[in-house]
Amino acid sequence: MEVVTLGTGSPIPDPNRAGPATLVRAGGRQFLFDCGRGVLLRLAGAGALPITLSALLLTHLHSDHTTDLNDVLTTRWVMSPVPLPLEVFGPVGTEAFVDATVTAMATDIGYRLGHHADLTEPPGVAVTEVASGVVVSSDEVVITCAPTDHAPVHPTVGYRIAADGAVVVVAGDTIPCAGLDTLVEGADVYVQTVVRPSLIEQIPSARLHDVLDYHSSVVQAAETARRGGVQTLVLTHLVPAPFPGTEGDWIAEAAAHFDGEVIVAVDGWSRTVGST
């Protein structure tokens, strides 16, 4: 199983960090978690295309995690020679969000249906709203989800992917909570979106300070990783993005609370775990 941090940014535009998105390759399939700004560029960089995705799994409906849904759906649709519905999983609200996105795409869909004789159907999407338990299950890969705590944003979920005798967790935006602890238990790789309060507090913006109360800090992510006996903690969605050369400060802050490996992710970082 391979995990790739496609986009490690946040709502703050950054030329080097695309919006939140993570790819997991497992059991011969490719699963995309969230679809933030620039996801298809980073997906192509990882050697994948929207037509090769098995499913899109959303952690929550904040714009930074969903803003390129239109691009995922449209590009998959126009690139595929046959109808290729995309399975989309996400918390309650996902169906309405996807429906509204497809509605917003109606003008373009009309243009393309009118122009291409071999394109006879609009983009297909099969949405399943999830809250906890098994999301995907096959002999090769099992994906489960659990509720997370990103209040007042609700509901939100994180995902645990088990394959090849290994476990990867894509937690999304959340503070420490029981659901998160369930997900990370014994994980090989735990990908956590984080903020760094000591830096944010120096920025004179009340709106930015608001983000502190519904994201894990670096310390909280490290504490969650320690409780779960995690092997590798991957910090992503870094707010504010570290200045080059300061990544060691982030790692040191986590390492004070967690004995395992700590990675400050960049776009395209990847790790293979388990038997393949």
Q: Does 37 bind Zn ion (CB under 5 A)?
A: no
Q: How are beta strands 166-170 and 157-163 bridged, if at all?
A: antiparallel
CA 246 – CA 255 distance, rounded (Å) = 15
Q: Does 17 bind Zn ion (CB under 5 A)?
A: no
Using the rule CB under 5 A, which residue among 64, 68, 149, 188 binds Zn ion?
A: 64
Q: Does 14 bind Zn ion (CB under 5 A)?
A: no
Choose, from 64, 149, 164, 173, the residue flagged as catalytic: 64
Site for Zn ion (CB under 5 A): how many residues? 3
CA 21 – CA 42 distance, rounded (Å) = 9
Give per-residue burial for 77-100: e unless 16+ CB within 10 Å, then b. Answer: beebeeeeebbbbbbeebeebbee
Q: Which stretch binds Zn ion (CB under 5 A): 44-52, 89-97, 162-170, 171-179?
A: 171-179
Nearest distance in Å: CB 211, Zn ion: 8
- Cβ 45 vs Cβ 38: under 8 Å: no
Q: Which of 174, 215, 197, 177 is nearest to 253 (CA)?
A: 197
CA 205 – CA 165 distance, rounded (Å) = 45
Nearest distance in Å: CB 145, Zn ion: 16
Using the rule CB under 5 A, which residue among 164, 173, 253, 267 binds Zn ion?
A: 173
The total of other beta-carbon atoms located within 10 Å of residue 162's CB is: 21
Nearest distance in Å: CB 139, Zn ion: 33
CA 9 – CA 109 distance, rounded (Å) = 30
Nearest distance in Å: CB 226, Zn ion: 23
- Amino acid identity of residue 9, one-letter, is G
Nearest distance in Å: CB 150, Zn ion: 5
Six-digit token string for 47: 């050697």
Among this protein's residues, is 64 annotated catalytic? Answer: yes
Q: Which stretch binds Zn ion (CB under 5 A): 25-33, 62-70, 126-134, 177-185?
A: 62-70
Q: Does 149 bind Zn ion (CB under 5 A)?
A: no
CA 267 – CA 7 distance, rounded (Å) = 5
Q: Which stretch binds Zn ion (CB under 5 A): 137-145, 163-171, 172-180, 242-250?
A: 172-180
Nearer to Zn ion, 74 or 236 (CB): 236
Q: Does 62 bind Zn ion (CB under 5 A)?
A: yes
Residues marked active site are found at: 64
Site residues, Zn ion (CB under 5 A): 62, 64, 173
